[in-house]
Amino acid sequence: MIAKHPGGAFLAFFYVVSWILFLPALLGTLGFGLIPVEIPAQPSILLLSLIALAGGAFLITRIADGKDAVRDLRRRYFTWRTGPQWYLLALFGAPLLLLVGAAVVQGPATLSAFAAKLPQFLPTYLINLVLIAVLISIWEETGWMAFLTARWQKRFGPVFASLMVAPLFGLGHIPLLFISGGITDSGRLAPSEVPEYVFYLLLLFSVPVRLIVTWIFNSTGGSLPVVALAHASLDTTASAAILTGFYPDVDGRLLYFGLAIVAIAVLLITRGRLGYHEAIPGAQRVAIPVPAPVPLS
């Protein structure tokens, strides 16, 4: 059954394990308060990435496709050689996008305010980014990108695969909505805020992110390190520490709108291929008629 439905088996394994791993934090005082112990969500997130996503990807790959496929999946961790522009994009695309959006909305004064804090910004930002990429993002993208999206884009094409993965990726964050500090660093969400954040998780955030990540993955030859840096850059830029410290009075949601614009631009520029070089399923070749040679008289 797993061999016939590897994608469904991976998702079932992920969601069951993820809720089990989040259960202690949900039951503690930071969650529903059923037990009088403060249990943060960070250990659950780390274990989730390692066990439910990366572990699930390797387990299902071994069962469904064999040792050679496991070796190929593991090789993605060592795919470093790609153009320097992809590393620059992965490292600095998100903070630059937010800065441009802030300048458009609030005026050029935002640029000078940010430039004054640039010496403090770079070490703080890069240290947090590398930590998140190494501890969480590379394992997270092993499941979502290197396993699920890469598998589905062979059947449905890169765009449809990314759109299918997007809400599933967002649903994986749902337990964090009920844990203080899970989604925002400012505390527990009010019940009235939950629908808004569900919308952001499932649509406004997840869809552009998955399209952009697929484009980076395909364009870099399947490089998990570059993808992990890009994902960690988004998480770091959207964190309260970076927003409050270096983007004063800037609405963090500007980053989500900016990502949506970038995703649309990537779709148009790549004509929906998102850097994918194999034949897209369902694509039809158009035969160009060749005129018959005219006999010489």
The per-residue pLDDT for range 256-285, each reduced to its tens digit, is: 899 999 999 999 999 999 999 887 666 544
Residue 279 lies in a domain: no
Confidence of residue 12 (pLDDT cuts 50, 70, 90): very high
Residue 226 lies in a domain: yes
Residue 252 lies in a domain: yes
Nearby residues of 173 by Cβ (< 8 Å), 6 or more positions away: 183, 201
Nearby residues of 257 by Cβ (< 8 Å), 6 or more positions away: 101, 204
Residue 66 lies in a domain: no
Amino acid at position 47, single letter: L
Half-sphere exposure in the Cβ direction for 147 (13 Å, CA)? 31
Task: Say which residue, 196 or 33, is predicted with more confidence.
Answer: 33
The distance between the two most distant Cα atoms of the chain, rounded to a whole number of Å, is 99
Average pLDDT over residues 102-114: 89
| pLDDT over 90 percentage in the chain | 69
Euclidean distance between CA atoms 10 and 30, whole angstroms: 29
Residue 159 lies in a domain: yes
Closest CA to 150 of 135, 165, 170: 165
Residue 171 burial by Cβ neighbours in a 10 Å radius (0-12, 13-18, 19+): middle
Closest CA to 74 of 157, 142, 124: 142
Task: Answer whether 237's CB lies under 8 Å from 92's CB.
Answer: no
| pLDDT above 90: residue 204 | no
Residue 8 lies in a domain: no
| pLDDT above 90: residue 67 | yes
Residue 131 lies in a domain: yes
Residue 285 lies in a domain: no
Task: Give the Å distances, CA to CA, from 109 to 57, 199, 238, 277, 296.
Answer: 46, 31, 21, 43, 73
Q: Give CA 88 to chain center in angstroms.
A: 17
Q: What length does the chain have?
A: 297
Q: Containing domain of residue 234, as a range?
A: 77-269
Structural domains in the chain (count): 1
Closest CA to 136 of 44, 43, 46: 46
Euclidean distance between CA atoms 130 and 31, whole angstroms: 28
Confidence of residue 186 (pLDDT cuts 50, 70, 90): low
